């Protein structure tokens, strides 16, 4: 992947509905080579999907919750079971394997505190082998992007 491919990816991340003509102009390629590069990025799996960002509040899920989960045991069966169960829970948008005290960090969307309680009681507790659940509620968003950073580190100030 070269600089032009990265430029194509950044443009598509900012607006995946852009036409090939517009994209080719923005990355300084003619339309045919631009389209070939996009297709190659898709076929190689670098571009995995085109998605739609939805306003969580307007959709009815205004509360973002970050849940740290620590397992009681770390046997292969316990880990596989936990991960398989989490994959089936629609409220969990993202699940990360973590270093540190927590084993997993979940990003969960719910409509309110009662909905979160229901999630914990009906989705997390039945999984079993959970030693602790530590919850943080996000009360604001400063930055949210799906655009990957440029490879160089930026200086601030």
Could you tell me if 11 and 82 lie in one domain? no
CATH of the domain at 28: 1.10.10.10
Per DSSP bridges, beta strands 130-138 and 92-97 are: unpaired
Distance CA 1, CA 5 (A): 6
57-71 pLDDT per residue, tens: 999 999 999 999 999
Mind listing the pLDDT tens digit for each residue in 77-119? 999 999 999 999 999 999 999 999 999 999 999 999 999 999 9
Q: What is the CATH number of the domain that holds 65?
A: 3.30.70.920
Mark whether 31 and 62 lie in a shared domain: no
31-43 vs 3-14: helix axis angle to the nearest 10?
80
How many independent structural domains does the chain possess? 2
Pick from 59, 78, 65, 155: nearest CA to 113: 65
Residue 151 in domain = no
């Amino acid at each position: 992947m070269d600089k032009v491919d990265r430029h194509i990816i950044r443009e598509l991340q900012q607006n995946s509905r852009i036409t090939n003509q517009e994209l080719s102009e923005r990355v300084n390629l003619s339309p045919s080579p631009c389209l070939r590069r996009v297709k190659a990025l898709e076929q190689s799996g670098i571009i995995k999907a085109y998605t739609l960002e939805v306003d969580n509040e307007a959709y009815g899920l205004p509360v973002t919750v970050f849940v740290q989960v620590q397992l009681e045991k770390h046997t292969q069966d316990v880990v596989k079971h936990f991960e398989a169960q989490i994959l089936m829970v629609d409220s969990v948008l993202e699940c990360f394997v973590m270093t540190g005290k927590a084993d997993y960090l979940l990003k969960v969307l719910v409509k309110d505190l009662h909905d979160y309680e229901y999630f914990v009681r009906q989705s997390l507790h039945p999984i079993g082998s959970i030693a602790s659940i530590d919850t943080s509620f996000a009360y604001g968003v400063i930055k949210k992007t799906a655009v990957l950073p440029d490879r160089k580190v930026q200086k601030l100030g």
